[in-house]
Structure 1
Amino acid sequence: MFNAHTVIGAAEWEVWQYAQRLSTVTITERLRVLSQFLAETDVQPLHAQAVDIVRWLAGHDDDWSDSTSATYASYLSAWYKWLQIVDRRADNPMIKVGIPKVPEREPRPIADEDVPRLLATRMWGSTRVMILLALLAGLRAHEIAKVRGEDFDLTGRVLWVKGKGRKLKSVPLHPILIEVASQMPATGWWFEMRGHPSEHMHSKSVSDIVGRTMRRAGVRGTCHSLRHWYATTLLDNGNDLRVVQELLRHRSITSTQGYTRVPDQRRRDAIAGLTLVRGRRAA
């Protein structure tokens, strides 16, 4: 039976996205946003006009961040591009709406002194492993959730990670992670879903577990802040930005720059080195 709050065409779009090998998280979020648009505007996304979309986005100016608005607009853009591909719609209203530019964010790694404080906090052994994978391999929450024993090559001392775009890349193993891996299962998921041992934990569960531990330790930030610390520390240790890009597994070095923060002391030293009177070079 037809439900007035059912998004027309959503099921077909879901199948198409899976065929494109998009992640379940991405697909689920895109469909959720479409459903939210329908519920709040009472306009079928299939038939929505530019003015409907603009009014919906503007109606959330007070409760959505610029980043959230940009993300949701990009979801709608993907939806209308698909409708054009399958000849369900001739026009694309997002051309008139445009997609808000995602604001540049200053990297927010945890402080160096917070690392030992976090690791000294009482926690489950599995939580400690999650934190170490973020700090010493720079793994994202969804990558941590999918870690398996088979991903570790202890002979070659590398960890194979399937990151964004399902690309498989290797990360050199830190000695501490080699020791951790030798004590963890050699096969199967390291972080199983409770009650479903054949499935891995959800990425949100990883974020929540690590986040709660950080708050209990009095450390500000999120699970992703640990990856920011990894990147910033690599750069601060004198590694080339290109090397950091490879270790973060970024396609673009611009993305890497968004993860790394120049330490405050370096910035202060740079300013202190400015002089209004510069010596002449010898002839």
Structure 2
Amino acid sequence: MISPAARDALQNWLSQQRALKGAAENTLTAYQGDVADFLAFMTVHKGDAQGLGALSKITISDMRSWMAQTRAGDVGPRSMARKLSSVKAFYRWLSEREGFEPTAVLSTRSPKFTKKLPRPLAVDAAKALLDCVEIQSDRPWVSARDVAVLTLLWGCGLRISEALGLRGADAPLPEVLRIVGKGGKERVVPVLPAAQAAVAEYLRLCPHMQSDDAPLFRGIRGGALGARAIAQVMADARMQLGLPATATPHAMRHSFATHLLDAGGDLRAIQELLGHASLSTTQAYTAVDTARLMDVYNKAHPKAG
């Protein structure tokens, strides 16, 4: 059992992350689970509920025991690294507040893992996927809805949560959308005519009454459409087309970035369109191979002539 003092400290830290740093709810949920699991382990490991004084005395050996037990629970190195990052962030805050030295926790090394590059779809595969989705449902309005959502992911680079977060007041879609993304960061996204047309067709066929404050995209019964439903639509389409398991809704956003770069788009501009805080994240999205980079270099560099 986690001590009341430790539980209160965790809640206070989460509140600060929400208020001062604008952390997304999904991030806060992950933080809470990671740190609560860590505190629960230490309670069992030490044989007593860990108050704030005890938490300040955790050793490198204790940290190794926690990591070993967590990894034994079939947690991969990537997830382990995330959990350790959550615990370190909490400890940084707690040590400043309580005035103790957090070296044992902060010096714990994260497990090494190979960072997987996202796999965008080829242009013809993305087009085939939309064509397949268009005829997948026996309800024409549902097919139009699914095409509209996926067109927003591929054509505007929206996250699935951003597309599903659109409201009735956003329709008809303007030439540019103001999107509030992760951490409350706002960005301006141009809307392609194809995306405007896809959403207009969905709204023409949708049987559910639209209102400004209601979700733009609806489920069968009229409630908000969930991300899981779109993931299933993609899964069904990729099976029919023989596409790999990496062909997910998020892969359409990856494809948006890669296809823009392939067409000569500027990496910094694409970073803005995606709403990435770091250019390195954008570089990972735009899975550009070395051969293409060398081709650009040879054509553009003044010494290459």
Q: TM-score range by the shorter chain?
A: 0.7 to 0.9
Cross-structure match for 2:121: 110
Contact 1:143–1:163 (Cα < 8 Å) also in 2:
yes
User: Which of 265, 272, 278 is the matching residue for 1:252?
Assistant: 278
- What CA deviation, in whole Å up to 9, does each residue of 1:57-79 have, x standing for no partner? 23444733332222111111121
What is the total number of aligned residue pairs between the two structures?
264
Structure ranking higher in helix proportion: 2
The answer as to whether partners of 2:35 and 2:83 remain within 8 angstroms in 1 is no
TM-score normalised per structure 2 = 0.71
The 5 Å alignment of 1:61-76 reads 61=71, 63-76=74-87
Cα displacement string for residues 165-198 of structure 1 (whole angstroms, at most 9, x for unaligned residues): 211111100111111333535723224689895x
Specify every segment of 5 or more residues in structure 1 that has no aligned partner in the other structure, as ranges: 274-280
Q: TM-score, normalised by structure 1?
A: 0.76
For residue 26 of structure 1, what is the amino acid of its counterpart? T
Matching residue within 88, 92, 97 for 1:86: 97
Spell out, residue by residue over 1:85-142, the C-alpha distance to the aligned partner (whole angstroms, 9 max, x if none).
432x612233221445674433311233322332213143333322112111111222
Q: How does 1:8-87 map to 2 (within 5 A)?
A: 8-9=7-8, 10-20=10-20, 21-40=22-41, 42-43=44-45, 47=55, 48-61=58-71, 63-87=74-98
Alignment partner of 1:236 is 2:262:
yes
Say if 1:85 and 1:202 are closer, same or farther in 2 by CA, change over 3 A.
farther
Question: How far apart, in 2, do the equivalents of 1:170 and 1:240 lie?
Answer: 16
- Shift of the 64–137 alpha-carbon distance from structure 1 to 2, 3 Å rule, reads same
Counterpart Cα distance in 2 of 1:131 and 1:83? 43
Distance 2:221 2:35 in 1: 31
- 2:212 is the alignment partner of 1:212: no
Percentage identity across aligned positions? 28
The unaligned stretches of length 5 or more in structure 2 are 204-209, 299-304
Number of the residue aligned with 1:176: 194
- 1:104-183 aligned at under 5 Å gives the runs 104-119=115-130, 120-121=132-133, 122-123=136-137, 124-125=142-143, 126-151=145-170, 154-155=173-174, 157-183=175-201
In the aligned structure 2, how far is the partner of 1:219 from the partner of 1:225? 12
Q: Distance in 1 between matches of 2:284 and 2:235?
A: 25
Change (3 A) 1:149 1:36: same
Opposite residue 108 of structure 1, the aligned amino acid is: R
Residues 22-81 of structure 1 show CA distances to partners (whole Å, capped at 9, x for unaligned) of: 221111111111233344552567524332223322344473333222211111112112
Task: Single out whichever of 3-12 and 237-246 deviates more from structure 2.
Answer: 3-12
1:214 Cα deviation (Å)? 4.5
- One-letter code of the match for 2:101? D
